[in-house]
Structure 1
Amino acid sequence: MREHIIEIIKQIEIDYDVKILYACESGSRAWGFPSKDSDYDVRFIYVHKKNWYLSIDQRRDVIEIPKNDPISIPIHELLDVSGWELSKALKLFRKSNPPLLEWLKSSIVYYQAYSTTEKMSELATNIFAPNSCIYHYLNMAKGNYRDYLQGQDVKIKKYFYVLRPILAAKWIEKYNTIPPIQFQSLVEDIIPEGDLKKLIHELLRRKIAGEELNLEPRIDQINLFLNGEIIRLEEYAKSIKNDIQDPTERLNRIFRETLDEVWN
């Protein structure tokens, strides 16, 4: 699949007249709990030619490859491919956008060219805003908890989509740093030894083994943990203050240097 993804990346460059700077996995495969039928969630950052930026009209700043209207070569049914234009990515980076920070820390990098994302990674610690990141993970956890885990019978695999953001928020509380992307790393560090950790490890084993994990009785011990942490972390997030120097000029410099590096 990696070879096919790189082929898709090269074809996007041709079809859209851009250069791709970085492409990675951003979904369950990067998080460390894929099942046999998990999508490949490929996310990338790209840059246009200089004249594209010298226009009085606003331009679309994302590229999405819909499965029913693929690019000029066939695309695998398990591929979910989309990317952000560089200036959009840098503006989100300035806001400490958690999905973008996760892209840069992805455990699966499919493609990297030029020096742009290395420069962004070097700056990531300086732009990290713990309160906005915690709120992002909390909102994700609350939405998934409300939508998937309220009944007597629940889709057991959905626990991962609440556990992971809660553990990421707890990592930020504990270390005040960008959390690791891999779920197992979060579990080992954040969850103490005991019954809760054993339950999570068993769910993880079953999901990776390919068990369906569809509707089953709710796991009350995990629900109690998640509900309590959502309430507690919401209070904690209110106490966090950001003290970040404006990185705009450094990001402008990265943008200009990228245009010169790529197109000159």
Structure 2
Amino acid sequence: MNIPASITTIIEQQPYPLLFTTISGSHLYGFPSPDSDYDLRGVHILPVPEVVGLDSGAETIEISESRESLEIDLVTHDIKKFFLLLLKKNGYVLEQLYSPLILKTTPEHEELKVIAKACVTRHHSHHYFGFAATQWKLFEKEQPHRVKPLLYIYRVLLTGIYLMQTGIVEANLIKLNQIFNLPYISDLIAQKLAEVEKSTLPNVDIAFHYREYERLRDRLQEAYEASTLPETPTAKEALHNLLVNLRMKS
């Protein structure tokens, strides 16, 4: 994809070295509207004095700006915080780490992607159950109903099922639907791509989509129960060693 210059500029202006920066959100999921903002996610490396001294550096940096008519949302975590999140059942950080839309990378980023495979467990399914439930409530209560929450529901459920089956993080709904072949997904994506971020579905069949939501939740439960993924992560030691090496280099 073509990266606007303002995005490159905001990354270059960050106060700490970056382990990586990737694009998340609708661009990663495969259905950005023409006016979608850019969700940038990454990891920064605090220098040793700002970790062990009395004045600690920022564990999380959040920036929301409008540049050249683009809405840009940047969030980065320090390496220790990000590594601790990887050891929890947090699907967000896995999707950020494995996003193919890479803006900034390092050799250690590639090393981390190898290590983090041992962070994926059966219990990451709970992240996707919870996210889907939140999005269904949002979709159901809004009037008129919007296409974005509906796409998010299908995206997270299919991501979760595929993760349980393969151990692979795939957040792009277009690619996921090449596997799951849900006939209504293409039309929903086409509408989201063509219209504004808050486009609506005036004639949507709520009962149909609720049945699909329930069916895919059941499939995720079945995938969880059948999954051969481990119960707990086994990457703590490798993450510790990488953390120490990165911190000392900084």
Question: TM-score category by the smaller chain?
Answer: 0.7 to 0.9
Deviation at 1:223, TM superposition (A): 2.5
Task: Assess if the C-alpha contact under 8 Å between 1:134 and 1:169 holds in 2.
Answer: yes
Q: 1:255 to 1:75 in 2, by over 3 A?
A: farther
Q: Which SS does the other structure have where 1:42 is aligned?
A: strand
Q: 1:248 to 1:199 in 2, by over 3 A?
A: closer
Task: Assess if the C-alpha contact under 8 Å between 1:156 and 1:218 holds in 2.
Answer: no
Q: Distance in 2 between matches of 1:147 and 1:112?
A: 35
Task: Assess if the C-alpha contact under 8 Å between 1:153 and 1:215 holds in 2.
Answer: yes
**Count of residue correspondences:** 245
Please name the residue that 1:71 is paired with. none
Q: Distance in 2 between matches of 1:105 and 1:236?
A: 21
Q: Distance in 2 between matches of 1:76 and 1:90?
A: 34
Q: Distance in 2 between matches of 1:105 and 1:94?
A: 15
Deviation at 1:38, TM superposition (A): 0.4
Computing the radius of gyration over CA atoms, which structure comes out larger, 1 or 2?
1
Unmatched 5+ residue regions in structure 1? Answer: 69-73, 192-196
Q: 1:200 to 1:87 in 2, by over 3 A?
A: same
Deviation at 1:43, TM superposition (A): 0.8
Deviations 1:200-233 (A, max 9, x none): 1111112212366314133343321112322553
Q: Distance in 2 between matches of 1:168 and 1:62?
A: 26
Task: Assess if the C-alpha contact under 8 Å between 2:46 and 2:57 holds in 1.
Answer: no
Q: 1:4 to 1:67 in 2, by over 3 A?
A: closer
Identity across matched positions, percent: 22
Please name the residue that 2:235 is paired with. 247
Provide the alpha-carbon RMSD of the alignment: 2.6
The alignment status of 1:217 with 2:203, answered yes or no, reads: yes
The runs of at least 4 consecutive aligned structure 1 residues that moved more than 3 Å come to 56-60, 74-77, 150-153, 231-246
Deviation at 1:7, TM superposition (A): 1.3
Q: Give 1:145's match in structure 2, choosing from 122, 136, 140.
A: 136
Given the two structures, how large is their TM-score scaled by the length of structure 2? 0.86
Task: Assess if the C-alpha contact under 8 Å between 1:135 and 1:237 holds in 2.
Answer: no
Given the two structures, how large is their TM-score scaled by the length of structure 1? 0.82
Q: Give 2:220's match in structure 1, choosing from 216, 220, 233.
A: 233
Task: Assess if the C-alpha contact under 8 Å between 1:152 and 1:217 holds in 2.
Answer: no
Residues 71-82 of structure 1: pairs in structure 2 closer than 5 A: 77-82=70-75
